[in-house]
Amino acid sequence: MKKTTTRLADGRELIYYDASDATGRTAPDRTAPDPRPLDPVATASELRADPLLGDTVAIASHRQGRTYHPPADECPLCPSRDGRHTEIPAADYDVAVFENRFPSLAGPHGRCEVVCFTPDHDASFADLTDDQAALVLDAWTDRTAALSQLPGVAQVFCFENRGAEIGVTLGHPHGQIYAYPFVTPRTERMLASLAAHRERTGRNLFNDVVARERADGRRVVLDGEHWTAFVPYAAHWPYEVHLYPKRRVPDLLALDGPACTEFPQIYLELLRRFDRLFGPEAPPTPYISAWHQAPVHAAERSQFALHLELFTVRRTSGKLKFLAGSESGMNVFINDVPPETAADRLREVASKP
């Protein structure tokens, strides 16, 4: 991997990640400047603590002005070509990461980055080759390392939102990385459960969950040499898969070579099965793909288990799972699709050899 760091016209950091030149291709030129007359990024991000729930809300009114569903020929995530300048000054790229122009978190309140997976506007992550997906994994890992070193950062979250139903405002295949100045409520609950389980049993909760799913087998979707993917016993979403490395590690940086090598095969197969869930005539399946990594400074860090959670809000063809009264009002999920049924369906739609 070749990494090149530069700056956009308003001072935001831009990083190109290019595949190794072992293929013999000429090293790409990443010196193209950003000629746009951009004003410095002005944010009004503010963190407010909820005294009743104990969680944190980011107030970010400046995001009302962010780019919203532009036509393909005005996409800001495509390469700059034919006299049209975008967030990526180069005429082509492999993977590009830059500071979000409309961040939810900024300055002392953290950092938000955009990860462009491919220059192909009409592609999706599932269309990537194994080598391209491996490069994205390298970028996630490198940014996790860099952001974890920033003062005040407590947790790094790499994720992808795909589909208008999820709320995506740019159709180009991309994800985001949030560097939070606090540990998120969901992770805090995992850490509490982890500590309670160890106090009660002397064992690691993540190890026990994965072992139980593999022993049961009914909800296992894919079982590779280094990764296991399963629908969790108490899945919140209609189709939800958790992907764990078989060797427990706290974050992406700790993955070994064999796990990194196998990851693209396993993950791309999962994404392709998601797109086949509702039949060949259905539009691409909307989903959220979320990496859960150990907080940077957590006391229980070594006990945490890196894993990816992939889920869709589509419950059947043409119907979405909405977070209504019980879910939004009380955070009690009601799942219309039994996890065992979801796992059966995800096995049925496996790629043909």
Active site residue 174: yes
Q: What is the CA radius of gyration of the chain?
A: 20
Count of C-beta atoms within a 10 Å radius of residue 25: 10
CB atoms within 10 A of CB 23: 7
Token pair for 22: 């072992």
Q: ∠ at Cα 125 (120, 131), nearest 5°?
A: 85
Angle between helices 185-201 and 205-216 (to 10 degrees): 80
DSSP 296-325: TT-TTGGG---EEEEEESEEETTEE----I
Query: What phi and psi, each to the nearest 5 degrees, are found at residue 4?
Result: -130, 125
Phi, psi dihedrals of residue 277, rounded to the nearest 5°: -55, -40
Q: How far apart are CA 274 and CA 230, in angstroms?
A: 13
Is residue 268 within 8 A of residue 296, CB to CB? The reply is no
SS3 138: helix
Amino acid letter, residue 330: M
Tell me which of 109, 174, 292, 307 is the catalytic residue: 174
Encoded amino acid at 248, one letter: R
Rounded CA separation 14/34 (Å): 10
Rounded CA gap, 120 and 310, in Å? 23
CA atoms within 13 A on the CB side of 173: 18
End-to-end CA distance of the chain: 30
Dihedral of CA 110/114/117/122: which sign? positive
CA distance 203 to 194: 9
Catalytic positions, written as ranges? 174
